[in-house]
Amino acid sequence: MDHSVGKALTPKPKDRLAVALDLPDAKQALTLVDALDGTCQWFKVGMELYYAAGNSFVQELRRRGFDVFLDLKLHDIPNTVAGAVRSAAQAGASLLTVHACGGGAMLQAAAEAATVPGAPKLLAVTVLTSMDASELSRIGVVGTPAEQVLRLAKLAKSSGIDGMVCSAEEVGTLRTEWGPQTMLVVPGIRPAGAATEDQRRIATPATAIAQGASMLVVGRPITTAKDPAAAAQAILEEIAEASAAPSTVNLKK
């Protein structure tokens, strides 16, 4: 997959959508994969499913020809996180998340561990899309979500982590800061009219792409739809249309 968002190298819509398999077991997850009928190439495996099904599920998706985004949000002492990154490399995942708030030493250890053959590309999670300014203040973070995202993203970048996870509200700032080569993944995607549920900082697929997102993560708008394949196809079409439009982001020279 080409993770750049430069006009000449814009990836296909299928390479810009990861469906979140936030389901309790492998059987239900594979039923959904089958229902999507080949519309999607990327699947995100989060903690709920991974703790139930483990590496064998990741390997099954890979056997079927899909790419896997392993969203474990690793956050522990440097040695433990480094070991987890090496273990994840054995599963065949292409992307793996670590928490940027784990600190520079942890991020550096993760980045070093990800140099082994077959290791996934690391993405640093900045501020969860379920959190807003009031939630941040309750855990002692002073400032806006945008300020905290940029602070953590700069720490991750300086520690050797090239990709970031952020909301659509901050992705334009990060795209401007680092140009087209940095992979920026945006969750909290909700098509127009969809319920926000427990998400706070959300955006439509078109808005996120226009602001500079490399990849969108979409869960319930697809996984709970009466026709998951049709829901996914509608989002892919919106991604394609937004990708063809002129970018709204001014990249640094």
For residue 45, what pLDDT is reported?
Answer: 98
Residue 24: the pLDDT is: 95
Please count the residues of the chain: 253
Question: Which pTM was predicted?
Answer: 0.88
Domain ranges within the chain, ordered by starting residue: 7-244
Contact 76, 113 (CB under 8 A): no
Task: Report the largest interatomic distance among the alpha carbons of the chain, rounded to a whole angstrom.
Answer: 49
Task: Assign 151 to helix, strand or coil.
Answer: helix
Name residue 236's amino acid: L
**pLDDT, average across residues 186-204:** 67
Q: Distances in Å between the alpha carbon of 96 and those of 10, 99, 136, 212? A: 22, 10, 24, 20
| Mean pLDDT over the full length of the chain | 89
**pLDDT range class, residue 215, cuts 50, 70, 90:** very high
- Give the pLDDT score at 3: 40
pLDDT attached to residue 5: 39
The mean pLDDT value for 76-93 works out to 93
Active site residues: 73
212: Cα separation from own chain's centroid: 13
Query: Which CATH superfamily, name and number, covers 7-244?
Result: Aldolase class I (3.20.20.70)
Determine contact, residues 31/6, Cβ cutoff 8 Å. no
Closest by Cα among 16, 11, 29 to 228 = 29
Measured distance CA(52)–CA(48) in Å, rounded: 7
Residues 6+ apart with CB under 8 A from 77: 106
Binning pLDDT at 50, 70 and 90, where does residue 8 land?
very low
Among 57-66, 97-106, 215-224, 243-252, the range scoring the smallest mean pLDDT is 243-252
Q: Put residue 141 in one of left, alpha, beta given phi > 0 → left and psi -120 to 50 → alpha.
A: beta
CA distance 42 to 53: 18
Torsion sign (Cα): 181, 182, 183, 185:
negative
Taking 70 as the threshold, does the pLDDT of residue 138 lie above it? yes
Residue 197 has pLDDT above 70, yes or no: no
Mean pLDDT of 86-105: 94
The two structure tokens encoding residue 231? 């829901």
pLDDT at residue 201, as a whole number: 53
Tokens 């970018």 correspond to what residue?
A: 247
